[in-house]
Structure 1
Amino acid sequence: MIYAFLTLVSGVASFFISNSTVVNMTAGFSVGMLIPVVDEVGKNWEQLRHIWYSLRYRNRSIRVSTSYLFRVVIDGKYLLIRGTRYPNQFQPVGGVHKVSPQGSAALSAIGVVGDDLIPVDPSSDGDIRVRVPGRKLVQFFRWFDSREGREDSPWREFQEELLASGILPAEKFPHIMHNYLRRDVDKIRYSPWADSLEILVADIYELVPNPEQQRVFRRLAQSGHPNLVWVTPSEIQRRGATPGQPQSFEVAEHAQRLL
């Protein structure tokens, strides 16, 4: 993009100015002004996209679901756990962010309401699966990025799915170390399942087990636990299928975010 702009500026300048030094100075100055602009746009692209959505869909309701996922890799294989709502498929450890009472008040103030697509039960109560007025989308993401009034740690789902369930010995995991990898914010789309416009958000973490925890995971991988699978990147991409073999399990689509 910058090189194309440089060529254009040079061409226009040379048409009006015969001095090559002046032409090069003009082009150089223009590019020097453009680079920080392009850099700033790149840094704030998501925010600009949400501003556009809030204008285009200002009178629509947009479903937003935010979650966090754990990448757990031992000896090149990824750990997936059997889903609770969809027991026929395996998915990453993790789940939907929770909102605090203070966060709920902040969301209510901008017209955000709960999503009724999944029945509310003790497990889903407080989930950030919400319906956001289109014109308030920027305010919603500003609140979400502030981390105020919402869950800001991946520990809860790790503890619930792997420790409280008895899959891992709690005494070996009094705490965990993890790296924050990235945030995926999907482009807005129409979801037939939700019958609405939808934006999915996912924070991706990578578990960094200590040597003793690695040994525990290796023993777990050899145990053949019925609620777990250890899969290769290829199996994740193919949703659990292996060429030339009968498919014995299904991998959730969102597991691809781990790659």
Structure 2
Amino acid sequence: MAFRAVFGAKNRRHPIRVSFSALLRVTDDDRYVLFDSPARPSSYGPPGGVLKIHPPAVRILESWGFQPDRTVEGANRMKGDLRGILPADSLRAFQEWFDTAAYRESATECLRRELREEMSEVGLGSPGSSIGSLTFDPIRTVREGPSEVPGKPYLQLRNFEVYELAMRTPAAIRLRRDLVEAGHDEERPGVICAGFADIAHGRLGRALIAPQSAFLAGSTRLTADLPSLR
């Protein structure tokens, strides 16, 4: 209701880009483990990514005018991502559906899947079947927008759920140890350990740091978005 009151009836078809993600915080004292991003080469961000929808959600989202946002470069990887364009008058229904958790990944499912994919991408190899036993503790949820995006014809609403590994199993303890060791190993350039000052600056040496990394430490974005490959 507040959203419609702000934008008024004449803008009910105003496009809104939505993106809902889960991020994993892995720390070593005052450092945060970050992975190289294939969508933004030489930039590093937290493990995790956009939640996926399940097939029954496709028709529901289509009924609200949802249009998936995909790039040519990342089309296969982005298939099923909960990221796209909605008309403004569908936003309330979309958010109510999201809150039911129906026909979409949970944050736990998303983080397990992303760890499988991303650990291989950054050169750490497959984490094996033990990944299925991992659980995660919530840290915070950061919601941005809807707000204007410079140079874009839409408003943007983004939701970031931040979690950390629950250190309750040997598998979780080993995984955290392996990720931290990789972040400090110069022979593994796909993983770094960055401090908060590095995140606020947006760079560690030659590595750019993605702005969502700031949500590992707080609820405020500190640097501008980095463009993805298209």
CA distance in 2, matches of 1:185, 1:249: 26
Q: 1:196 aligns with which of 154, 161, 165?
A: 154
Structure with the bigger percentage of helix: 1
Paired residue secondary structure (1:203): strand
Structural mapping, 1:181-220, within 5 Å: 181-192=139-150, 194-209=152-167, 210-220=172-182
Q: State the 1:100 CA deviation.
A: 1.1
Q: 1:144 aligns with which of 73, 98, 117?
A: 98
Counterpart for residue 249 of structure 1: 207
Find out whether 1:162 has 2:119 as its counterpart. Answer: yes
Q: Deviations over 1:31-77 (max 9, x none)?
A: xxxxxxxxxxxxxxxxx544545746313111111111111112331
Q: State the 1:147 CA deviation.
A: 0.8
Q: 1:232 aligns with which of 188, 195, 202?
A: 195
Q: State the 1:167 CA deviation.
A: 0.9
Paired residue secondary structure (1:223): coil
Counterpart for residue 41 of structure 1: none
Structural mapping, 1:81-100, within 5 Å: 81-100=35-54
The structure whose RCO (Cα within 8 Å, separation 6+) is larger is 2
Which one has the largest radius of gyration? 1
When the two structures are aligned, how many residues end up with a matched partner? 206
CA distance in 1, matches of 2:92, 2:7: 7
Cα distance, 1:172–1:103 mapped onto 2, change above 3 Å: closer
- Percent identical pairs in the alignment equals 24
Kept in 1: contact 2:123–2:190 (CA 8 A): no
Give RMSD over aligned pairs: 2.4
CA distance in 2, matches of 1:62, 1:211: 40
CA distance in 2, matches of 1:208, 1:240: 29
Q: Deviations over 1:142-167 (max 9, x none)?
A: 01111101111221111211257651
Q: State the 1:248 CA deviation.
A: 2.3
CA distance in 2, matches of 1:50, 1:237: 31
CA distance in 2, matches of 1:206, 1:217: 13
Paired residue secondary structure (2:19): strand
Structure with the bigger percentage of strand: 2
Counterpart for residue 77 of structure 1: 31
CA distance in 2, matches of 1:114, 1:140: 14
Kept in 1: contact 2:35–2:122 (CA 8 A): no
